[in-house]
Structure 1
Amino acid sequence: MVVQVYGKAQAVCPQRVMHCLVELGLPFELVHVDIDAMEHKLPEYLEKQTLNSFIVSFPCFSPSDRFLTSPMATSISSWMDVEAINYNPWAFPVVFNLLVLPLRGAPGDREAAAAAVEEMSRVLEVYEKQLSKSKYLAGDEFTLADLTHIPATRYVVELCGGAHIFEGKERVKAWWEDITGRPAWKKVISFVESGKSSYSP
């Protein structure tokens, strides 16, 4: 049975899921959900979520050890929390004000976006220190801790003029170039741009 991914191809969360599946060499079908029309809040969509909960595994995408236990899993979980609590809340207003609202024909708050970019830059100073200790956030293997940062950061850097968040952070910049240069991520971008609804390795 092919995995079904529900969402909009351009949205951050579906891109995370698709990237994970491509890294693992798994085919999937993208079932379009119009989030702009709030389809994801309709009863028939919410029914697909079991008590609105989910199970998270921690793949490191290594052929020899794909699913890890502590302490590696603890580190991955911690950095995913950092992304969710300290990083993404600043990335969101940048993308929303400089990309999403203009696409909808509405003016974005550029001052709020600029302030959020500066906060992102400050958070990345912590990343710079961590990346002086290991190649990736949770260790020397690429994991979900790294993957989860890619979609939103790409929008900030490539489409919202926020590339300067890497200035003065050589390790962060090298890490970013590494994780976005992965073949799997390039395949995700190609898939999104193609408008297709199914992916096969």
Structure 2
Amino acid sequence: MAKPIIKVHGISLSTCTARVLLCLHEKGLQYQLVPIDVASGAHKRQPYLSLNPFGLVPAFEDGNVSLFESRAINRYLARKHEDKGTDLLLSKSSTESAIVETWMEVEAHHFNGPIFAINHQRIINPLYGLDPDEEIIKSELEKLENVLDIYEERLSKSEYLGGKSYTLADLNHIPFLVYFMKTPNATAITSRPHVNAWWNKISTRKATIEVEAGMKLHLANFDNEK
């Protein structure tokens, strides 16, 4: 009997869908990307709502396992396939794993909010004929730079955020940074030597290059993902 194929329901240009795809590529796992017609609102009605009741992308199926929330999906994949591909949680050491988890929380609770807001103003607003709100950008950029100052200090002592190895603590940052680095505010990264060196390492990984190829700005819709 053929093994069930992992299914990711979403769109490749979605940052949160891309986050899951990055993990799958790092693990060398086969999967099927099931396109969701976000433009027509397919994610807001059945049958999609049976996979993600919040009507956001992506949703995920692995045999009888059905999940949503990209970071939770990545934890599941990293744990289930610990011995395949890149060790993304450093699970063999409770101490190292705890450090990875700490920086994963930093990404989710400190980094994600401001970079989401800036990308929305710089990228999404113009797609809808709206001017970026420079006051919002200024406020959110200040928050982001405070986070990046902490990253600069951390990365001056550690090659990656979670330690000496690339992990989910790094990977989870990539999709929003792919878009952010195309904006005028990319200097927030490039002006910090250790943060910039970190970005250069993680952005040139084979998995990143493969997934980034499907991320096209002209259809990006950050409002419908999680």
| TM-score bracket, shorter-length normalisation | 0.7 to 0.9
1:149-189 per-residue CA deviation (whole Å, 9 max, x = no partner) reads: 0110121111x222110254211110000000101110112
Judge which range, 182-191 or 30-39, deviates more: 30-39
SS at match of 2:213: helix
Counterpart position of 1:179: 202
Counterparts of 1:61-140 in structure 2, within 5 Å, are: 68-69=90-91, 70-140=94-164
Equivalent residue of 2:13, what SS?
Answer: coil
TM-score when normalising by structure 1: 0.83
TM-score by length of 2: 0.75
Matched residue type, 2:25: V
Match of 1:8 in 2: 11
For 1:114, give the aligned amino acid: K
Shift of 1:111: 2.3
1:20-49 Cα shifts (integer Å, max 9, x gaps): 111111122211123344432324222124
2:35 to 20, 25, 32: 32
CA contact (8 A) 1:98 1:110 kept: no
Percent identity between matched residues is: 33
Which amino acid letter does the alignment assign opposite residue 51 of structure 2? K
Residues of 2 paired with 1:26 and 1:64: CA distance? 11
Gaps of at least 5 residues in structure 2 are: 53-65, 217-226
Aligned to 1:30, what secondary structure does the other structure show? Answer: strand
**3-state DSSP of counterpart to 2:129:** coil
Cα deviation, 1:66-108, whole Å, max 9, x if unaligned, reads 6533212211211111111111100111111111121123333
Aligned residues: 192
Shift of 1:118: 2.8
RMSD: 2.5
Of residues 109-118 and 168-177 in structure 1, the stretch that sits farther from structure 2 once superposed is 109-118
Q: Secondary structure at the match of 2:181?
A: helix
* Aligned-partner SS, 1:6: strand
CA contact (8 A) 1:46 1:52 kept: no
**Residue 165 (structure 1) aligns with:** 188
Q: Report the Cα distance in structure 2 between the residues aligned to 1:118 and 1:5, rounded to whole angstroms.
A: 35
Unaligned runs of 5+ residues in structure 1 are: 194-201
- Structure 1 counterpart of 2:198, which letter? W
